[in-house]
Amino acid sequence: MMIHTNYLIIGSGVAGLTLALRLAEKFPKKNITIITKSNTDESNTKYAQGGIAIVIDKNKDSYQKHISDTIICGDGLCDEAIVKMVITEGPKRLKELIEWGAKFDKNPDGNLNLGKEGGHSENRVVHHKDQTGYEIERAILMQVCQKNNITVLDHHFAVDLITEENYCLGITVLDEKTKQLQTYKSDFTILATGGIGHLYGHTTNPVIATGDGIAMAYRAGATIKEMEFIQFHPTAFYEASTGSKFLISEAVRGFGAYLRTRQGHRFMMDYDSRQELASRDIVSQSIDLELKKSGDDCVYLDCTHLNPESFKKHFPMIYEHCLTSGIDIGKDWIPVVPAQHYVCGGIVVDTNGKTSVSNLFACGECSQTGLHGANRLASNSLLEALVYSGRIYEYLATPALEIKTTDYKISEKGKTAKPEIDPEYLAELKPRLQHLMRQNAGIVRSDNDLQNAKDQLLKWKNEMEQMEKTYQISVPFYELLNMITTGSLIVSQSLKRQENRGGFVKLKKLSV
């Protein structure tokens, strides 16, 4: 079945939803279609606790300070022009969010209550308690639901981009309820598919984060860059089980919490003058070293010296999670461990969000803009998503923008009867893949481990591609194929990088 839409957006996080909202308001007679493989409100945005880094108080803060903090965190690999563009456009995008109904914490005097996080020289993080992403998603979805020209298709899985002569014509979609393939032809296609977290298993990302957009773009011939820069959040709540980890926001350390070993040593004083407020790469690597020295499973976040009522007011979700897990923050230390949090690389885009494939755009975590460099500064991700959503909108709103999709014909995939894939095969392979990535492409890597991972990933990729020809496609199958493809990009680009920068650390020689 062939369906035509003017604007096709894959993903329902802050990047995709704000773009859809802007387009719907500008072009009330055009159709905007949002495709998401889960519920409409399920995205990495929803789980963003910290906030949005934006320069508000220009008496104490400045654009230049924020620019400098971002470049220092990016360890020399940020594009300075992009950094300046994103940071200076931030206040404009915040104003839009507030107009759309997003509510942020304020001081008693009525001004925005600005938090401070690792790597920031000033208080500049706008937040809604410890549920900022959830609040933004709530406000935008409420606006989206009021637009008659926006269609949201939940439980629809984007299988592959349709391209001709390096021109994106649309996408093939699997309706998860009917199990039928559908072809969507679009005037413009935008990937806003989020991150890759479940490739590592231990992650702060929701289960939907399987690198789908990056893998699809790669298969379509788009340029993918700097996938070796994987950010591990230093403080995910430690539980022995695998899977998504509950995030203990960076803002808790900004609030005054200390990191300690099991013996009580406040170890960050040994590694960085900023102590607990060093950037995420430094804190994660420090924790990794401490755990390797001690053999312990986790370190601890000590909040016992903080005012418990004030903590509860600022971090109600974190407080309740700890309490449910048997941790009283007034008396007990919180067990924490680094977990995969964010990928700094991705689909290369220009200042308008355009990829190297004509008519294909990308924004949010799946894109590589040049903002983050070798390591993302805390709370710059929602900022980037909002700014690039705005940039793509402004480009698409250009009068008389040429539409070429009518020049091409799309051949729909025919229906063929094929046997179903053994679900046990997929269920068994996924944890093996996640373990391989944690062990061989984690916080600290080596060429030997990376090469072994590359060889194994290639074997799995070949197996999956053969199975694709024989069996019916399914969401678990394509998610696994996408994770293997994304893992291969991380490993191959890690092998090519020779110097340690930001979040990327590779041992020169294996220890004997």
pLDDT at position 240, please?
A: 75
Q: Are strands 167-175 and 181-191 parallel, antiparallel or unpaired?
A: antiparallel
Same domain, 48 and 152: yes
Q: What is the mean pLDDT of residues 336-358?
A: 96
Least confident of 43-47, 363-367, 390-394, 411-415: 43-47
Chain centroid offset of residue 80 CA: 22
Same domain, 128 and 156: yes
Least confident of 331-340, 401-410, 455-464: 401-410
365 falls within a domain: yes
Long-range contacts, stretch 420-428, CB < 8 angstroms, 24+ apart: 420/471, 420/472, 420/474, 421/467, 421/471, 421/472, 421/474, 421/477, 423/476, 426/476, 426/477, 426/480, 427/476
pLDDT tens by residue, 88-113: 999 999 999 999 999 999 988 899 99
Of 338, 364, 384, the domain-final residue: 338
Same domain, 217 and 272: no
Q: How many domains does the chain have?
A: 3
Radius of gyration of the chain (CA): 22
Options 280, 438, 445, 501, the catalytic residue:
280
Q: What is the CATH number of the domain that holds 97?
A: 3.50.50.60
Q: Under a CB-based contact definition with an 8 Å cutoff, are residues 214 and 347 in contact? A: yes
CA angle 265, 268, 272 (to 5 degrees): 150
Quickly state the pLDDT bin for 512 (edges 50, 70, 90): very low
Same domain, 77 and 148: yes
418 falls within a domain: no
pLDDT at position 415, please?
A: 54
Annotated active-site residue 260? The verdict is no
- Rounded Cα–Cα distance for residues 368 and 372 (Å): 8
Helix, strand, coil in percent for the chain, rounding step 5: 40, 20, 40
pLDDT at position 244, please?
A: 60
Same domain, 327 and 403: no
The pLDDT of residue 511 is above 60: no
Same domain, 168 and 221: yes
Of 338, 365, 399, the domain-final residue: 338
Same domain, 362 and 457: no
Mean pLDDT estimate for the chain: 91
Quickly state the pLDDT bin for 479 (edges 50, 70, 90): very high
510 falls within a domain: no
pLDDT tens by residue, 4-15: 999 999 998 899
User: Domain span at residue 467?
Assistant: 423-505
Percentage above 90 pLDDT, the chain: 72
Same domain, 151 and 287: no
160 falls within a domain: yes
Same domain, 68 and 187: yes
Residue 272 DSSP SS3 = coil
The pLDDT of residue 51 is above 90: no
446 falls within a domain: yes
Same domain, 495 and 441: yes
Same domain, 57 and 194: yes
512 falls within a domain: no
- Rounded Cα–Cα distance for residues 73 and 117 (Å): 12
pLDDT tens by residue, 198-213: 999 888 888 889 999 9
413 falls within a domain: no
Same domain, 62 and 114: yes
pLDDT tens by residue, 268-312: 999 999 999 887 788 988 998 898 899 898 999 999 999 999 999
* pTM (global) more than 0.85: yes
Of 315, 338, 361, the domain-final residue: 338
Q: What is the CATH number of the domain that holds 264?
A: 3.90.700.10
Identify which of 276, 252, 446, 409 has the alpha carbon closest to the alpha carbon of residue 334: 252
Identify which of 216, 504, 219 has the alpha carbon closest to the alpha carbon of residue 343: 504
Q: What is the CATH number of the domain that holds 495?
A: 1.20.58.100
Identify which of 265, 251, 260 has the alpha carbon closest to the alpha carbon of residue 335: 260
Who wins on pLDDT, 417 or 107?
107
417 falls within a domain: no
Q: Under a CB-based contact definition with an 8 Å cutoff, are residues 229 and 503 in contact? A: yes
Quickly state the pLDDT bin for 320 (edges 50, 70, 90): very high
